[in-house]
Amino acid sequence: MSELQFFGTVSASISHEIKNVLAIILESSGLMEDLLLMAEKGNPVDPEKLKALAGRVKGQARRADAIVKNMNAFSHTVDYPFRSVDLGEMVGLTVALAARMSSMRGGKVEFEPPGEAVSVATSPFHLHMQLWGCIDSALSHLDENCSLRVQCRKRDQGAAVLFTGLKGTDCGELGVPPPRHQPELLRLLGARVFPSEDGRGFCLDLPGEAPGYRP
């Protein structure tokens, strides 16, 4: 997947999410109009139904707000080629952006925020691209009835992102990294991918500073 394809894939996923929210809001507003028409004709209207519909619209508006905030945060990852970032926030954002992909694949991704701040100096956009690729590969190898667990950990010379909950496999079977594009990403980020000791997951190891980073 090229950089432009990745940006398009994420943008399309976000637009589908927004479209789904708007569809629910339109449906709810239509039902409220039906209830008001009934009231105009002298038929009693259950206040609880109106209350439930209003709550539904409010909930979807909040959902749309969260989606747009994520879209805005993702769009700004191209502002600077390299910068220092909060890895927990970056991973959490990628997991949120990949929610629709995960749902369509019949999987569930659970992100466990780190207990302490984990910072790395890297390329934000390319790190999102690498994390997306890891989630995409992992979803094809989830163990039955398991969720993909994603965790961040600080290391002495950088940080690590752990992906667990997979069938017994190795990175070669996972296609991590796949034969095209992702090796270039790993070199740009100065990262490496290796299987966990139990073979039921893998780790994305990141340096404290990517090779191209200049303070």
Tokens representing 63 are: 């959902």
**Count of other CB atoms within 10 angstroms of residue 129:** 26
In whole angstroms, give the CA distance from residue 27 to residue 149. 35
CATH 1.20.1420 fits 3-77, yes or no: no
Percent of the chain with pLDDT over 90: 60
User: Which residue ranges does the chain devote to CATH 1.20.5?
Assistant: 3-77
pTM, two decimal places: 0.87
pLDDT tens, position by position, 96-137? 999 999 888 888 899 999 988 899 999 999 999 999 999 998
The pLDDT of residue 43 is 85
Q: Give 10-residue mean pLDDT values along the chain (215 residues).
A: 90 94 94 88 86 93 95 94 95 94 88 92 95 90 85 92 82 59 85 84 93 84
User: Which residue ranges does the chain devote to CATH 3.30.565.10?
Assistant: 83-207
CATH 3.40.50.2300 fits 83-207, yes or no: no
Q: What is the DSSP string of the chain?
A: --HHHHHHHHHHHHHHHHHHHHHHHHHHHHHHHHHHHHHHTT----HHHHHHHHHHHHHHHHHHHHHHHHHHHHHGGGS-SSEEEEHHHHHHHHHHHTHHHHHHTT--EEEE--SS--EEEE-HHHHHHHHHHHHHHHHTTBPTT-PEEEEEEEETTEEEEEEE-B-S--HHHHTSS-SSSHHHHHHHHT-EEEE-TTSSEEEEEEESB-TT---
Instruction: Please state the φ and ψ torsions of residue 194, each to the nearest 5 degrees.
Output: -145, 155
